[in-house]
Structure 1
Amino acid sequence: MSRAFVREQDGAELEELPDRLISEHPNLVTAEGLAQIEAEVERLTAAHAAARASEDRAQIAATARDLRYWSARRQTAEVVRRAGDAGEVHFGSTVTIERADGRRQTFRIVGEDEANPSKGSVPYVSPLARALSGKTVGDVVRVGSDEVEILEIV
């Protein structure tokens, strides 16, 4: 076994996993996104303590890595309050669009860690969110090879 990532901790040898990559973009979050980050830090803190108690080296390494990631994300989180003006698309907006083929989609623009396209949220750094930012109802925007029309902004 390679000893490249082995370190001494509390008298036991632990393999340290490489850190998860952290985005170069500002860590903008909604209030809900910050709550999700804080819940993940709490969950991982408990999981890490349990792994240490059971002396599960693999689990200790995995939870330590994830705890470092989520702690860094909590520390750098910038909560963006919803703007009172729903007249244009911005961070936190819920937007309904119609694609050229007639499909309608509704999604919310959120932070990177809280985005889940299958549940209707996209990160503010996505090409779609960037293309729609600052636009208003009725605007037609090119996204990739498709055109979308903004039908509603909440």
Structure 2
Amino acid sequence: MNKAFTKEDEGPQADRLDDLPQSPHPNYVTPAGLVRLQQQLRDRHADLSALPRDSLAAKVPRAMAERDIRFLEGRINRAIPVDPAAQDADAVAFGASVTVLDDEDRQTEWRIVGEDEADPAQHRIAPFSPLAQALMGARVGDVVDWRKPGGVAELKIVAIRYST
């Protein structure tokens, strides 16, 4: 049969979209991060429930919601909750808010959070990011080297704080 008359030309079949990739890193989460993931899952279930079952127009949105639900269920199932308040207050670890001083005497605070919570623009970084890796294990007064694409920045640890 001529390829022009096959179903392949009707556009993508949206019964089931490919799964979104899961991160290869351990899924450490703060208590707030786990609550957010669970809320996102409830929201996507609600979105899915609101879509008509027999509508051709809802086929792609249904497939997207189902894909997102599978992704979020995977993130939640792989979650490793870590209570920041239970960490050693003297050293930088997951959940820490770390105040650093750079070589131009600028003070910045970074918080090490789960991958799903990370937002570098808001100074929330994932534990496997280069900055978090440089900070991990450091104590107040230590100087760490943050390897960035533009070179190495020295950061002095000024304060370490843990909160929930």
TM-score normalised according to structure 2 size: 0.82
The 1:41/1:112 distance shift into structure 2, 3 A limit, reads: same
Matched with 2:4 is: none
Which 4+ runs in 1 deviate beyond 6 A?
A: none
Task: Determine helix, strand or coil for the equivalent of 2:109.
Answer: strand
1:113 to 112, 116, 119: 116
Q: Are residues 4 and 26 of structure 1, via their aligned partners in 2, closer, same or farther at CA, if it must alter by over 3 Å?
A: farther
- Bigger radius of gyration: 2
Q: Which residue of 2 aligns with 1:50?
A: 50
1:93 equivalent to 2:127? Answer: no
Structure 2 stretches of 5 or more lacking a match? Answer: 1-6
Task: State the one-letter code of the partner of 2:92.
Answer: V
Separation of aligned partners in 1, 2:128 and 2:11? 35
Candidates 83, 91, 95, aligned match of 1:81? 83
One-letter amino acid matched to 2:141:
G
Which amino acid is 1:63 matched to? A
Give per-residue Cα distances to partners, 1:97-129, cap 9 Å, x unaligned: 111222221121111011112222111111111
Structure 1 residue runs without a partner (length 5+): 7-13
For normalisation by structure 1, the TM-score amounts to: 0.87
| Letter of the structure 1 residue corresponding to residue 158 of structure 2 | L
The aligned residue for residue 36 of structure 2 is 36
1:5 offset after TM fit, Å? 6.6
Is the 1:5–1:17 contact (alpha carbons within 8 Å) kept by the matching residues of 2?
Answer: no
Percent identity, please.
35
Contact 1:5–1:15 at 8 Å: present in 2 too? Answer: no
Task: Tell me which of 70, 73, 76 is aligned to 1:71.
Answer: 73
Counting matched residue pairs gives 147
Q: How many angstroms apart in 1 are the aligned matches of 2:89 and 2:52?
A: 48
Structure 2 match to 1:149: 156
